[in-house]
Each structure stands twice: as structure tokens, then as C-alpha cells.
Structure 1
């Protein structure tokens, strides 16, 4: 029989001084209660209770055993209550793993608002651009961009989608010209991740259907923030996540290219070890993530920012003069002040 249950039965018999009373209190038969106590005595090799027709009494061994067992059961109940509380109330350390650039540019505000909402949870964030085994490495929640995670047992939930944007600086375009079709990228130095991480072939969807090109990398880097820095230095045409360059597009530091073409979207997914007995800290963080990105409407905002920057690209594409001084004044007038400044500066390069 179950030793822990036998210990509970013994304590109840000792407290009530009766097998019948303990049976009623525990909703067991008297025979089962008697068997539990007999099994304990057989396991210990000693008598715990003196039995007479009128009453029960503890032996010396029984008194010692009762005292220790009562402490054990009290400690066990306390542990169970603590675990149950942790499963129902957000508390403890929450281990999160996410890709480096996404974490730096999109995750920090979510973690900050979550920590303010649930002060008893301590977020522990790891940023890694490698394949992660969520279960083996002990993470509670992972964020996947393009499936950088390994484990057959994880559960995934779609968070949002991101878009990829082909872009360059106004100064670079003023000097080297504006690519207007994917094939034109073959004539430009491109800034991209190494082929084993991002793939060399790019598949565009456009007015004439699917277009496949293999741009030639001028510089490769395994970190998209580094590629962004190269792009801002005017070193070539970059293909970057829109969430990374949103402010650069809005300010005019970078200009979106090939606006009639689209690259496949990036799936951004939440992953966690199991749906079974999900701790409150994990459940609430997942809900908080989803709520944040639904409220932010990131894909739609990306599209609005690209659309806002499109007049810069249209103006650059519409002139044959690489110095760009003949940009449409009406187009430039509609741009944000920072964007107009960038165009003026680039026209003087």
C-alpha cells in the first residue's frame, strides 16, 4: 500500500483514538484503515498502537513515530501549497530566450511592462542567434524567428509576422542609382547574412509573378544589427527586417526599395515546453506578449512606415540625375523634416 497514505491514516487514527473514527473522517472502510496501520507496523518491524477492546493507545515507538511523521506531513503540505500557489499566481524566475536583434528592438518594452504588472516574477532574458533546445536548456518561454529552436516536445503559438525590406541610404542611391526590379540587385553590392543562415536566393512576388535572384554579397555578417550599421554607412543595398529599420525608414536615413515587390514574411512564434500544468508565470507572460503585439499592430505599422517613406524612393527613381538636385519639390515638401534633410545632404555627395 501507499506508504504516504498509510502515514496519514496512522496520524488520523492516533488523533481520534479510533479506527472507526479515522475511517469515517477519511471516507475509507475500517478494514482499509486497519490494513494501512498494519502495513506500517510490518514495514517498521514494531508495534505503533496498543489495541484493546475499549481503546487504542500509542506505544513509545508510536509516540516517537507520530511526532516525526506529523512534521513530515506538515512540511509536505506546505510544499504542495507553495507549488500550487506558483502554478496559480505569477511568481519566481521566468527564463526567456529570443533572437538578439528581435530581443533588443522589440522585446524590451514587453518585458518592462510585464515586470511592472507582475512584480513577483523576475524575468531572466537570454539573447541568442543559434538553435536552442528549450527543454534541455531550461527555458520557460522562447521566441522564434524563422524557427531557430529545437525540441520535439515544445508547443508553439503564432505571435506576429514581420516583413523584409530592401533598403539603402539616399547618398548611396544618389551615387549608384536606384534598383527598380529584383534583377537590378545583381548590379549592386548587397549586405546580407551568410548563405548558411539566410540563404543566397531571394524570392520576390511582384506584378509579373515570382522573381528569383541571387544577389552578390559585398559584406556578410551573422547579425542583422551589424548589417544595418553597414547599410547606414552607405556600403550597399541591404535586406533587413522592417522592425529593425522602422525608425530609419521614418526618418529618411534609409529608403525602401522595390516597393512593387514583396519578400516572404517572417513568422514570429512563441514556444514553451508543454500545455500541461502551465505555470502562471508562463501563462501570463504568453498572454502579455500576444496582447502587446496585437495592440502594437506591428505588420500594419511596418506597411504604413514603408508607405510614408515611399515618396523618397519614387523621387529618386524618377530622376536620371545621380546628384538628385532635381527631386520634385512637391514630393520633398511632403516628407518629414529629417527626411528632407537627408535628401538635401545626399544630393550634395
Structure 2
């Protein structure tokens, strides 16, 4: 039994005082109306309507039940009407989880422009490099960086691909020299971003060859911005996404090395629970992210 349909049939039959009238209103055959009423009576365990071939009338139990059914169906209708504006206009609170460094270096300056564009949206942005559980923690969307996105029930939209560079400060190269091949890194001071999927092994490719270098680091840290600070201070070499150090490289504070070798890339995704009935607030934020990362 479709209980919602059965309740609607019961209400219309009672209010219109007839099965045929209820069927016409709901687009159901007389047989379907009778079946729904019979199944509803079986469900509640009592007769709700006295009926003959000529007339019908509510039982005492039916009158009491009808009062509750009307209130319940009206409440559901009001709930739908309450959500109607949210389905049409981007509004409401949007909870987003995003990695700290990506957000601070490439996104946060544009957030006010997004909020100005959509004044009915309230943004609750959590900067956290850990991988949150969207459903359990109540997030509408998360930005994730990954070398390969794990299988899951989440929907993912690709935002951008960040290449990595191996770099250090000029002072470091003056003191320690430049590595001529990836294997030389074993004798260098390396700075390790410990949350990376390639934190323990740095991988390099050239002319069909691959070299994987185990990373032994005196300094491991969970922030790429902290890695960048250590690089600027000349502490060591770091493998870091290019967007985080692009300005430093252009202005000479940092320099790349082993540039004839390619290395890892990190793909950024926007992930969200479902493509169905996507709220306008999520839809416009996805478009905003796509626009911003394509600009970068």
C-alpha cells in the first residue's frame, strides 16, 4: 500500500462524500479508490467508512481519523511550500569543507564576491586538510585534492590539476649544491608535507624511466604553507604544488631543480552527496568553483 496515496483517497472521499468524486479528483478509477480505502482500513485495523451501492458515511472512528489525516496532509503541504523558494532561488546555509592552503592561496579572496552575488546564501566554510565525512558531519560539499579519487557514492566534479615542482631557496643551493638526478635527493635536506599521498616516496619520470625516492625528512608538517615558509628560509628542498610557490619562483625567492624530470600532479575535485534534487545553493557554488579555478 502507498500510504500517502491511501490517505489522500480517504480524505477526498470523506470531504467529497463519494468514491467516484474522489477518483475523478485524483485521477483514479473507482476500483483503485475502493482498494486504497480497504487497504487503509486493514492497516489501521478498523472500519473508517460505511458504504453501500447508493451512499457512504464515515464511522465514528473514521471521523476521528479524518481530523488527524487532514492536519497531517496539510502540514506536509505547508512543508513543501516552505521549501519551494529554496528550490528556486539560491538561499540558505551552505556548509563547505575545503583544504586550508588551496583555499587561502586560490579561493578565499573571491568568496566575498560570491556572497555579494547571492545575498540569500550564508556560507559556513571549514578550512581543514583532513578528509571529512560529508554525510555524517553535515557538509553540503567538500573540496578534495587527490592523486587518484577513491571509489565512493559521492559525486565528483573536477576543478583543476596542480603540477608539483621541486624547489628550494637560492641560499640552500649555494650551501648544498643542486641535485643532478632524483637519487641525489638522498643526501639532501627534504621538507615533507605529511598529509600528501606521496609524502613517503617522491616519484619522478623521464624518458620512460621512473625513479621513486624514499623521503627521509627531519621536518614533516601538515601544512603546505609551512613547507613554503621553510623553503623560503633555506632549510631544505620541497616537492610542492606550483600554485603555492608561483609568486616565489617568479620573484626569485625560490628556484626549481630537476626541471627535466616530471613529477606528481594533484587533481582538485568538488565532491557532494547526490546529483539528484541538487539545491540551488550547491549548484551555484559549484559553478563559482569551476569559474575560479579555470581563472587560476
> TM-score if structure 1 supplies the norm length?
0.70
- Distance change >3 Å, CA 195–CA 13, structure 1 → 2: closer
Where do 5+ consecutive residues of structure 1 fail to align?
Answer: 297-349
- Distance change >3 Å, CA 263–CA 12, structure 1 → 2: same
Q: Cα distance, 1:99 vs. partner?
A: 2.4
For 2:28 and 2:253, the matched residues in 1 are separated by: 77
Contact 1:135 1:151 in 2 (8 A): no
- Distance change >3 Å, CA 48–CA 199, structure 1 → 2: same
- Distance change >3 Å, CA 264–CA 40, structure 1 → 2: closer
Contact 2:107 2:292 in 1 (8 A): no
Q: Which residue in 1 is equivalent to 2:115? A: 115
Contact 2:172 2:234 in 1 (8 A): yes
For 2:51 and 2:34, the matched residues in 1 are separated by: 13
Choose 161-170 or 131-140, whichever is displaced more.
131-140
RMSD (Å), alpha carbons: 3.3
For 2:150 and 2:139, the matched residues in 1 are separated by: 12
For 1:210 and 1:41, the matched residues in 2 are separated by: 72
Q: Which residue in 1 is equivalent to 2:235? A: 235
Secondary structure of 2:135's match?
A: coil
Q: Which residue in 1 is equivalent to 2:250? A: 250
Secondary structure of 1:126's match?
A: strand
- Distance change >3 Å, CA 75–CA 23, structure 1 → 2: same
Contact 1:167 1:238 in 2 (8 A): yes
Q: Which residue in 1 is equivalent to 2:46? A: 45
- Distance change >3 Å, CA 52–CA 219, structure 1 → 2: closer
Contact 1:50 1:59 in 2 (8 A): no
Choose 102-111 or 190-199, whichever is displaced more.
190-199
Secondary structure of 2:139's match?
A: coil
Contact 2:203 2:213 in 1 (8 A): yes
Q: Cα distance, 1:236 vs. partner?
A: 1.7
Contact 1:132 1:150 in 2 (8 A): no
For 2:51 and 2:185, the matched residues in 1 are separated by: 93
For 1:160 and 1:212, the matched residues in 2 are separated by: 25
Q: Cα distance, 1:23 vs. partner?
A: 1.9
Contact 1:146 1:268 in 2 (8 A): yes
- Distance change >3 Å, CA 178–CA 284, structure 1 → 2: same
* Structural mapping, 1:1-349, within 5 Å: 1-37=1-37, 40=40, 43=44, 45=46, 47-48=48-49, 53=54, 63-83=63-83, 85-109=85-109, 111-146=111-146, 152-194=152-194, 198-206=198-206, 209-214=209-214, 216-296=216-296
> TM-score if structure 2 supplies the norm length?
0.81
For 1:61 and 1:195, the matched residues in 2 are separated by: 64
Choose 277-286 or 206-215, whichever is displaced more.
206-215
Where do 5+ consecutive residues of structure 2 fail to align?
Answer: none
Contact 2:7 2:69 in 1 (8 A): yes
Q: Name the larger-Rg structure.
A: 1
Contact 1:164 1:265 in 2 (8 A): yes
For 2:167 and 2:106, the matched residues in 1 are separated by: 20
For 2:145 and 2:170, the matched residues in 1 are separated by: 29
For 2:40 and 2:215, the matched residues in 1 are separated by: 77
Contact 1:131 1:150 in 2 (8 A): no
Q: Cα distance, 1:29 vs. partner?
A: 2.1
Contact 2:147 2:265 in 1 (8 A): no
Q: Cα distance, 1:195 vs. partner?
A: 9.4
- Equivalent residue pairs, number: 295
Secondary structure of 1:135's match?
A: helix
For 1:249 and 1:175, the matched residues in 2 are separated by: 19
Choose 92-101 or 36-45, whichever is displaced more.
36-45
Q: Cα distance, 1:162 vs. partner?
A: 0.5
Q: Cα distance, 1:56 vs. partner?
A: 5.4
Q: Cα distance, 1:100 vs. partner?
A: 2.7
